[in-house]
């Protein structure tokens, strides 16, 4: 029963599944009183991110906290429990033609709490900002079971320190997110995606930068490189033209690079933006392009997630958007064409690279990726790697001066190391 809560090879001695915020408080209060250590679990899709915990007695699965607590469509506000999945929330909001402008991969498994705690990223960040910009309030259960609240459930926010933000990206090391209040918005009346394929990242960059610097901001723009992208480009080409992509430089079809541009607005505006975007693609030496909607559109954007089966190594880098294409190009060039899947959110400068490789070659890949990211002026972190490498690494990379403040915050919020001890940067 505990094996599905194994973390880096360590199993907890028991699993707790609180069904309410009060239960969650009582659970953590007991764990704390017993001087034990707990790890908070949401959908479990990103539990591989983090340093190995130093103690692990109890898995606290919060997926039972999955209710919509308050939803006021006319105020554009929704308050949910943290264990609700992103997909379930979107379904509820969709009944009123509304949505949360946040689209992490695997929404049917990803919980709101886990997505916030692990600072998950989705393509919509390009036009709506990070998920932290959509949060207007939060309640958190601290390590000793105390329930705290910050912010509110009105879009015009209340005074006081914005404590909610502390827990976003903290991987459950300062507290368990219990409820979250979000500002939401209308579903766009129309949404289409222009998918274009190129024979190199370089030529995709020409088109991409013209669109980013163009007359309108696409809802999302992402470049995807690697065999999955090439195979998908081939599928689209065959479906729309009857022929596989012909590369202008005669490169093997398997090396096509995909550029996805999502356009969302009124039908007339989307029509005009589609025309502008396809003419840009044509002018920028695209080997081909197609306009997607419905399932085809969703299938293309699903490529923005981590490959399945899980890769041996995943690194994430955040850098200046203008440098994102170059980094994708460097990473793509650093290894054989078939071993890598790269997702470049070029509009906001987040690049995720996933390697399929044997464990022995991973340390070398980490170093070449770290060099490429550092040379591109980016911040580097390891999201997934063989567990055996973790004792010798800090997967969050170099934090520098802020680390001391982070240590003091942990000391303040969780002095006894009840929550995921050793998991965060600097093994906090
Ligand atoms: C096939 C696949 C591909 C994916 N690709 C990507 C990708 O490319 N990029 C990406 O960013 N994500 C990716 N994801 C992960 C997924 O989209 C999100 O990251 C997801 O948001 C994580 O939510 P979760 O509920 O699964 O979190 P979990 O994995 O359960 O938890 C993540 C972290 O948050 C902590 N936590 C969980 N709940 C709480 C809480 N209530 N309070 C405090 N801490 C908490 C956990 O302790 C853990 O440290 C992928 C998932 C799948 C299945």
Which sequence spans correspond to the domains of the chain?
A: 1-187, 190-384
How far apart are the C-alpha atoms of 170 and 318, rounded to whole Å? Answer: 17
Average pLDDT over residues 324-349: 86
Average pLDDT over the chain, rounded to whole?
Answer: 93
Comparing 246 with 81, which gets the higher pLDDT?
A: 81
Sign of CA dihedral 167, 41, 352, 127: negative
* Ligand 1 midpoint to CA 39 (Å): 13
Domain 1-187: assigned CATH number: 3.30.465.10
pLDDT category at 242 given cuts 50, 70, 90 is confident
- Angstrom CA distances, 278 to 194, 217, 239, stand at 7, 15, 18
Arithmetic mean of pLDDT, 185-203: 95
Helix or strand or coil: residue 138?
A: strand
Pick the CATH number of 190-384 from 3.40.50.300, 3.90.550.10, 3.20.20.70, 3.40.462.20: 3.40.462.20
- Residue pair 201/325 in contact (Cβ under 8 Å)? The answer is yes
pLDDT > 70 fraction of the chain, expressed in percent and rounded: 95
Q: Does residue 241 register a pLDDT over 90?
A: no
44 lines ligand 1 (CB under 6 A): yes
Atom of ligand 1 nearest to the CA of 117: 34
Which of the two residues, 157 and 316, has the higher pLDDT score?
316
What is the phi/psi pair of residue 252, to 5°?
A: -55, 140
Calculate how far, in angstroms, residue 19's C-alpha sits from the geometric centre of ligand 1: 20
Residue 107 Cβ < 6 Å to ligand 1:
no
Does residue 173 line the site of ligand 1, with CB under 6 A? no
């Amino acid at each position: 029963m505990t094996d599905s809560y194994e973390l880096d090879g360590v199993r907890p001695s028991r699993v707790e599944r609180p069904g309410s915020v009060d239960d969650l408080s009582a659970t953590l209060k007991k764990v704390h009183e017993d001087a034990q250590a707990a790890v908070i679990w949401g959908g479990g899709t990103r539990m591989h991110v983090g340093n190995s915990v130093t103690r692990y007695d109890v898995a606290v699965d919060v997926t039972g906290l999955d209710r919509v607590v308050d939803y006021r469509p006319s105020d554009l506000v929704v308050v949910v429990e943290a264990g609700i999945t992103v997909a379930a929330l979107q379904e509820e909001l969709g009944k009123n033609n509304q949505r949360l402008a946040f689209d992490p991969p695997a929404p049917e498994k990803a919980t709101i709490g886990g997505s916030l705690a692990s600072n998950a990223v989705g393509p919509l960040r390009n036009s709506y900002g990070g998920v932290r910009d959509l949060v207007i309030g939060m309640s958190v259960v601290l390590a000793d079971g105390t329930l705290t609240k910050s912010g509110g459930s009105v879009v015009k926010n209340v005074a006081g320190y914005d404590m909610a933000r502390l827990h976003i990206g903290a991987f459950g090391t300062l507290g368990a997110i219990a409820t979250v209040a979000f500002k939401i918005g209308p579903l766009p009346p129309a949404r289409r995606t222009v998918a274009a394929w190129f024979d190199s990242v370089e030529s995709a960059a020409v088109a991409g930068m013209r669109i980013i610097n163009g007359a309108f901001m696409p809802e999302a723009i992402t470049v995807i490189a690697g065999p999955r992208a090439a195979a998908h480009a081939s599928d689209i080409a065959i479906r729309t033209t009857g022929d596989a992509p012909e590369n202008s430089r005669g490169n093997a079809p398997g090396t096509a690079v995909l550029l996805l541009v999502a356009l969302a607005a009124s039908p007339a505006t989307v029509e005009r933006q589609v025309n502008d975007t396809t003419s840009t693609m044509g002018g920028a030496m695209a080997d081909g392009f197609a306009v997607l909607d419905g399932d085809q559109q969703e299938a293309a954007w699903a490529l923005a997630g981590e490959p399945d089966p899980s890769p041996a190594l995943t690194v994430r880098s955040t850098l200046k958007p203008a440098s994102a294409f170059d980094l994708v190009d460097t990473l793509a060039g650093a290894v054989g064409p078939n071993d890598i899947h790269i997702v470049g959110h070029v509009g906001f400068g987040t690049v995720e690279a996933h390697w399929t490789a044997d464990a022995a070659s991973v340390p070398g890949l980490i170093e070449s990726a770290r060099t490429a990211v550092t040379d591109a002026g980016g911040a580097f972190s390891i999201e997934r790697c063989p567990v055996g490498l973790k004792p010798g690494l800090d997967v969050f990379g170099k934090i520098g001066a802020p680390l001391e403040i982070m240590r003091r915050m942990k000391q303040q919020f969780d002095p006894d190391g009840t929550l995921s001890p050793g998991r965060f940067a600097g093994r906090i």
